[in-house]
Amino acid sequence: MQLTVIAGFGVGDIDTSEIEPAVLEIAVEPERGRVVDEILLGHAIGGNFRCTAEPIPGRFRIAVGQYSDLDRLEEALAEIAALEYDETSYNAVNIYTVRDLVSDLRRQREEAVARKETDTIEDEIATGIYGEGYLEY
């Protein structure tokens, strides 16, 4: 399995209340595509993340949002890694790689949420939402 983060979490524009999702790409052996698709779909429902199969067999994209369950994502990725793991492969993705990736996603998401909240407050102050006199010095 090859696992790539295509896009990290983003703050987005002022009109959206949620952060932009992170996007991952998974590439597996084409013959394992159906099994991987079933694993992803099974976890996506309970984990509140989106997954789509790419036109190329064995490739999938996963969009992880602000309210996605990263523990469920980790479970799905660990199952897929177990299917594909080969100790002799230089690019092998194992459970430790999956845990590190999910931990990093968790940290990035927390940072993006904090930035979004800060940006929202700053925008509200700048537009005078907090009433007259608030910005007087």
Measured CA to CA, the distance from residue 102 to residue 68 in angstroms comes to: 12
pLDDT at 92: 60
21: Cβ contacts below 8 Å, ≥ 6 apart: 7, 9, 50, 63, 64, 65, 66, 68
Predicted TM-score of the model (pTM):
0.81
Name 120's Cβ contacts closer than 8 Å, sequence gap at least 6: 14
**Domains defined for the chain, CATH in brackets:** 2-126 (3.30.70)
Pairing of the two strands 22-27 and 59-64: antiparallel
* Amino acid occupying residue 54: E
Q: From the first residue on, what is the mean pLDDT of each consecutive set of 10 residues in the chain (137 residues)?
A: 93 82 95 94 96 94 97 95 67 82 96 86 65 51
Q: What is the DSSP string of 39-88?
A: HHHHHHHHHT-EEEE-SSTTEEEEEE-TT--HHHHHHHHHHHHHHH--TT
Beta bridge mates, 2:
27
Torsion of CA 11, 106, 35, 89, to 10 degrees: 110
